[in-house]
Copies of this chain bind each other. A is one copy, B any other.
Amino acid sequence: MNWLDEVKWDAEGLIPAIAQEVGSNDVLMFAFMNRDSLARTAELGEAVYWSRSRRRLWRKGEESGNVQKVREVRLDCDNDVVLLKVEQTGGGPGEATVACHTGRRSCFYQVLRDGHWQVVDPVLKDPERIYR
């Protein structure tokens, strides 16, 4: 049986995917994958997601250069969530490694404190420089 057939895709043919950084174990981002994107991720060794808004495959870093090298692909107990262990790369030598389009390391930079979402992580790279 093909390993892709063991994945329980949802009604739209998608599966949630969590990207976690190798080493720090920080959760960097969350996105969806369809069958093609998971197959491509395994083939390339680089994260390829499915963009629900643009309705197309989206190789992480295709515009920003912030490619995610995939070191391990894990599946949960219900076969319906994927966890990628990734090495997040930057846009070039000496560049900060950012996974978030806001220029932060991780997309999860807002923390609930005293009934408000507070931004707690710094912008490491100007988004205008990421998407130039």
Contacts and interface: CB of A to CB of B under 8 A. Distances in A.
Nearest to A30: B81
A74 B108 contact: yes
Interface size class of A (residues with CB under 8 A): 35 or more
Interface in A66-112: 72-79, 81, 83, 100-102, 104, 107-112
Nearest to A101: B77
Interface of A: 2-3, 6, 16, 18, 20, 24-27, 29-30, 42, 72-79, 81, 83, 100-102, 104, 107-112, 115-117
A30 B76 contact: yes
Query: Which residue, of A2, A79, A112, A115, has the highest number of chain B Cβ atoms within 10 A?
Result: A112
